[in-house]
Structure 1
């Protein structure tokens, strides 16, 4: 379900883990104490950290630096049949999954595990997923109880009660309920409702008349029919048309993805008593009581017009149609945990047709993913112990503080921002809370029951436990120790209402970060990632939040106008990047991430230069420090993706494709021009007046 977390980069087992860095670092002090790790690194004869085999010397770096750095790899790399993409991020995720597999299989091989222990839960969840023979024997029996509940719906009050019930079980529902920090009062949690209920990737898939989208809709109808037939449901073809019609009506009420990333538009605080005015035909008392939130007096409605539209759909749609839709939502959300036939058909449409994946992943991979999604921090404890050394956390802490210092210095030097706004910006920067590697406090799974012969039940019980944990936050202090990613996740994120930047252990590996690599490539890699997440604190949405995580206007009018103009220039630049002949990057959708990329590499470069303490960087493997920095940055975006998956990504992902994440940012950096001698006439050249510098 939707959480207000933006800016993600697309076992009784351990005790005594060290704490994260303090979050009250003074920016000026950080600037004054910038580390000089490079000099010590040179003495160790560190490697350049550059993947020379990937370089394509036939490409001029001034024309396409991404293809120069990664082109040889792009020509020869092949996407395995069970994947839709390969590259720096995705290959590291495969490595992390292999590492987690070893942990899970060791636990699964154990005998006589204490009932209710973390080890028992990991072992039995994995065994339940891998036991295909039992799943085939059970058929749809695991969801029969829910089907009976759906068939027993007698009126519209029962209907909205089931919406809430399905939400708690982690199944499909048209309205998504969740608990998160109140964006305008970051000292409290608040309930939210977010638009939901579609099976295709986003609303445009229901209305776009291109040949591809028309084909996808036809395939989706055939898929629903086949799934109904495999499950033994009646009237598969008629039901498919009924479901498609209802989903299309719901999709028509959805906001598009550009609107939904607007923090201002999606903050709409309502008194619960006024919901009857917004949507009088939805029984809000029944809905909130079923969710366990009946005592709440206010609620944030992220898309009010969607709820108004849902009111009319609830009012005018007969119960038989809703029952078909809810039966489908139940079936499609549980298909991976049912029979081989249902699982295979689910793959055929959602992975093969939609994303071009030729073969289904080996079952163990999906089993590992299931355990990580359900018991992530149980496995994460062991993962950290085995794969994350204390030295990496210490070096990362240094890098974070160096980037913080460089950011503060950059804010001081901005010529477009007033002194008043600079004070607020530096206050926010000083209050960034970095989290590195793993949580201080591990998640508690004691209330979750896992059985080795009840895979669907395990998933539903996990949904109920997570809902209860989330609901229990209401009225309690904000949990500053909570993480929204596991340590074994290859990613990072910025959370505006917590003003925190978070870097799980698994991303702190080559090519992003290496204890053996020279500082230039680490600053270009993980340094740019750190800067990217910091940059989200000051992107077009993050900049709406202050240092305490409250959404408020801390900008002068003239500064905001200048900031918006710079964002508009980036929208224009990225909208001009052509992914395919008929498809360009969506500059509006990707604006926040593009600001993050540009800010990240700009500040990482500044921090790298400061770390040299006035000394010249050594030449390593024939490359200057600046050249290694820019190559280190560019090689982390190396990716090759199936066309179907790329087209879906461009339609739905707020990140630009990797190729343009590199070109777009570097084309705006004068330091890159100097390092590689870019001049007018080179394909990456932008006239000085068109180059964007924000931070």
Structure 2
């Protein structure tokens, strides 16, 4: 379960001039430059200005426009989203120092009166002093990081919007106006901005000369990148690597004239695709912790993946444009390959139609994701012999197919080998479907899936065909630059190696240390919510406490980083990566990762293993290991800021931490105990109470309409069932972050305010910081993709719904009951 999706200085991408401080300054916004200029003023000068600030103070406690730190938030043009204009400034109703409490709902912490004394102030950051019109003193943070944070928040806001009507628009309206979608992107968000910065940093590492001082995997990552960038060689080789691959399986029927079905064995093709590429065509097979005994590993057998979204394939009449683009993509790639072989292409269109019909039939025998949230239903252990009995009467030879898959791993498979089947009904239906389908159509389908997976690793013609499809299904207007593609590919395959250089060069130990402390704060906050929870009975609550205490944390990077031998051990067995043959490099890496996974079968699970590289902008909860992971890539602004207000960090990475902890107690994560084992540990009464509260969340999100999609999918709504786990985590994570920050204030004193945002208390800034994390611009096509396939709700609703479910938010911002952000009916799980 993942979150979904900075350094202060960006890194210059390959091929651009400049760098260092000069480039960093040029990339600043005008507001940032103004504020940074002010940061050069000495503390004494700031103190001398206090009288000016106080004397010209504006109404409602805000600072005067005559103050050098009083920056008026920009008035943005009305974006094409929900708006609610008001004649009065919404700030006028926001108290300077609102009462601090959490709502009285018994499922939450009850009255939480701050224990700090009135004059107790946090001394962690340098400040200058200011006063309200009434003479009340308050501090303003004067660090460069606070100034940059203030600039980012101010520029993101649209203060023409009442925060009580649409807090997302209030916090992000300016950001959306200033951040139109880049032509090569279908979505542009804070995650994507950090991805870009991370990609820039990695490209610097990847283009450094190969050095024998580097560990072998680091050298291999540079060689891989160099080969990927060698477009002249890619063009000269063309699609030959794909042709050679297909010849091993009897060829792609629609691209050759003399295809012979006797040379094709679909079971061998599927098994080899899994062994050599980790692919899951027709059936999925993988090795992971046994869900009922996570100390050991097991083989899982499941239904197939598909070439496009299941919901599109099962209702093709709703998505005619997408389906036409998909067929055109398949036909274009087949024509390129047939032409390279000097073959006729006139029959391709008819064969494409047959392949599509087969995939529709395949989609219709799969189980929809809404019905795949119950571990018990999907946990069906049996021997290979019993698996064969499951599909008796068909020509499926499970022993032979699995033996081929595990061949490289050196693991023998026999009739007594234990497997866990997740979708028994699918396997039975698959046998019937294959028996009723011609081998030619099945071969065409499997080879097409190879092309879809590997075509972009060949020449420009194949990449162009892929891009034409992407334009329709994601709304992008331009292809991603080649250097970005190659940096992403290197990171996908060799990110654990690149991470060592990234951490060494760009990452701050302070971020790792502070994030580790924050995890404990958020864990403590979740336990406080458990403590006052009145719907968990006395049998279940102590076990929930034990599970929360047992959550293992992985922060920034593995502890063995810095040890070259450990890195080489991690990539042991990876050979044949050199700077000339990109397609072969890709095959080698896919085969290595596949073998590495399959070879784990029969071995004890490693609970200390990182399952993601540090060089990604995301976070994870692993239910089988009851663990949370926060890679280095996400421990940057706006999620985490060193030397700035902790209010911003609790609203950013703090909410992310709470989100991942809460995943351990959502509708899926709750099924695993503190060791990660899927065994019953909730009483029936507690489970019934949870289901009622979870259903409230399901119904709440189910009823959110998306008028932006009316032209492509009339009356579209969010999928409350598929998104419920992430929605529960979003709601709980924000509550935990708020409570944890209050505990931080109790320990350390009230924090200062931000320059240019003095009218907002630190607790209000926490909510602004949290909203800022989810600011997003997105194409209609990409929004449709998200609704159809993504378990996460769109960014807008990751702000509006969790905040509108919190009485504390409504109290803090003085939102009347019935306003957009304070509905009468609220949903609370955690």
Q: Same fold (TM over 0.5)?
A: yes
Which segment is superposed worse, 582-591 or 503-512?
Answer: 582-591
1:113-148, Cα deviation, whole Å (9 max, x unpaired): 699932431222112111111111112211233211
- Residue pairs, 1:481-496, within 5 angstroms: 481-496=608-623
1:70-112, Cα deviation, whole Å (9 max, x unpaired): 1112233211111111121111111111111111111xx337x
Say whether residues 1:165 and 2:266 are aligned partners: no
Which ranges in structure 2 are unaligned for 5 or more consecutive residues? 6-114, 128-140, 252-259, 561-566
Residue 52 to residue 474, structure 1, CA distance change in 2 (3 Å):
same
Structure 1 residue 426 displacement after superposition: 0.5
Residue 149 to residue 550, structure 1, CA distance change in 2 (3 Å):
same
- Residue pairs, 1:552-567, within 5 angstroms: 552-567=679-694
Structure 1 residue 316 displacement after superposition: 2.3
Say whether residues 1:326 and 2:446 are aligned partners: yes
1:316-341, Cα deviation, whole Å (9 max, x unpaired): 22222222112212222111111110
Which of 402, 420, 436 is matched with 1:300 structurally?
420
Structure 1 residue 568 displacement after superposition: 0.5
Structure 1 residue 375 displacement after superposition: 1.0
Matched with 2:390 is 278
Which runs of at least 4 in structure 1 moved beyond 6 Å after TM superposition?
34-38
TM-score (norm 1): 0.91
Secondary structure of 1:584's partner? Answer: coil
Say whether residues 1:221 and 2:323 are aligned partners: no
- Residue pairs, 1:541-560, within 5 angstroms: 541-560=668-687
Which of 691, 700, 716 is matched with 1:583 structurally?
716
**Maintained 8 Å contact 1:125/1:458:** yes
Matched with 2:84 is none
2: distance between equivalents of 1:35 and 1:471? Answer: 55
1: distance between equivalents of 2:351 and 2:611? Answer: 37
Which segment is superposed worse, 675-684 or 541-550?
Answer: 675-684
Matched with 1:622 is 759
Residue 160 to residue 562, structure 1, CA distance change in 2 (3 Å):
same
**Maintained 8 Å contact 2:473/2:782:** yes
Structure 1 residue 485 displacement after superposition: 1.8
2: distance between equivalents of 1:540 and 1:262? Answer: 9
Which of 472, 487, 498 is matched with 1:368 structurally?
487
Matched with 2:573 is 447
Secondary structure of 1:588's partner? Answer: coil
Which of 290, 294, 309 is matched with 2:404 structurally?
290
1: distance between equivalents of 2:820 and 2:116? Answer: 37
- Residue pairs, 1:344-423, within 5 angstroms: 344-349=464-469, 351-423=470-542
- Residue pairs, 1:512-523, within 5 angstroms: 512-523=639-650
Structure 1 residue 472 displacement after superposition: 1.9
Structure 1 residue 39 displacement after superposition: 2.2
TM-score (norm 2): 0.76
**Maintained 8 Å contact 1:255/1:306:** yes
Which of 55, 73, 78 is matched with 2:157 structurally?
55
Q: Give the structure with the larger helix fraction.
A: 1
1: distance between equivalents of 2:607 and 2:663? Answer: 19
Matched with 2:456 is 336
- Residue pairs, 1:12-31, within 5 angstroms: none
**Maintained 8 Å contact 1:163/1:173:** yes
- Residue pairs, 1:229-240, within 5 angstroms: 229-232=335-338, 234=345, 235-240=347-352
Secondary structure of 2:570's partner? Answer: coil
1:473-493, Cα deviation, whole Å (9 max, x unpaired): 122221122222211100000
2: distance between equivalents of 1:160 and 1:314? Answer: 11
**Maintained 8 Å contact 1:188/1:477:** yes
Secondary structure of 2:617's partner? Answer: coil
Residue 172 to residue 345, structure 1, CA distance change in 2 (3 Å):
farther
Secondary structure of 2:640's partner? Answer: coil
2: distance between equivalents of 1:40 and 1:474? Answer: 53
Matched with 1:660 is 797
2: distance between equivalents of 1:143 and 1:183? Answer: 38
Matched with 1:74 is 176
1: distance between equivalents of 2:302 and 2:613? Answer: 24
Which segment is superposed worse, 308-317 or 263-272?
Answer: 263-272
Residue 127 to residue 473, structure 1, CA distance change in 2 (3 Å):
same
Matched with 1:136 is 235
Structure 1 residue 609 displacement after superposition: 0.4
**Maintained 8 Å contact 1:35/1:398:** no
**Maintained 8 Å contact 2:327/2:352:** yes
**Maintained 8 Å contact 1:257/1:652:** no
Matched with 2:311 is 204
1: distance between equivalents of 2:314 and 2:766? Answer: 44
1:330-354, Cα deviation, whole Å (9 max, x unpaired): 22211111111011111111x2111
Secondary structure of 1:269's partner? Answer: strand
1:415-457, Cα deviation, whole Å (9 max, x unpaired): 1111211100000011000100012344622422213222222
Say whether residues 1:685 and 2:822 are aligned partners: yes
Which segment is superposed worse, 139-148 or 652-661?
Answer: 139-148
Matched with 2:25 is none
1:585-610, Cα deviation, whole Å (9 max, x unpaired): 11111100000001100011111001
Matched with 1:694 is 829
Residue 574 to residue 156, structure 1, CA distance change in 2 (3 Å):
farther
Matched with 1:248 is 360
Structure 1 residue 625 displacement after superposition: 1.9
Say whether residues 1:604 and 2:737 are aligned partners: yes
Which segment is superposed worse, 565-574 or 606-615?
Answer: 606-615
Matched with 1:180 is 288
Matched with 1:89 is 191
Secondary structure of 2:265's partner? Answer: helix
1:520-565, Cα deviation, whole Å (9 max, x unpaired): 1110110000000000000011011110000111111111111110
Which ranges in structure 1 are unaligned for 5 or more consecutive residues? 1-5, 11-33
Matched with 2:70 is none
1: distance between equivalents of 2:491 and 2:214? Answer: 20
Residue 42 to residue 309, structure 1, CA distance change in 2 (3 Å):
same
2: distance between equivalents of 1:685 and 1:208? Answer: 37
1: distance between equivalents of 2:356 and 2:638? Answer: 44
Matched with 1:511 is 638
1: distance between equivalents of 2:559 and 2:657? Answer: 20
2: distance between equivalents of 1:94 and 1:489? Answer: 11
Matched with 2:57 is none
Structure 1 residue 154 displacement after superposition: 5.8
**Maintained 8 Å contact 1:172/1:326:** no
Structure 1 residue 693 displacement after superposition: 2.2
**Maintained 8 Å contact 2:250/2:264:** no
**Maintained 8 Å contact 1:179/1:191:** yes
**Maintained 8 Å contact 2:557/2:632:** yes
Residue 156 to residue 186, structure 1, CA distance change in 2 (3 Å):
farther
Secondary structure of 1:177's partner? Answer: strand
Matched with 2:109 is none
**Maintained 8 Å contact 1:493/1:533:** yes
Which segment is superposed worse, 678-687 or 439-448?
Answer: 439-448
Say whether residues 1:39 and 2:122 are aligned partners: yes
Matched with 2:55 is none
Matched with 1:29 is none
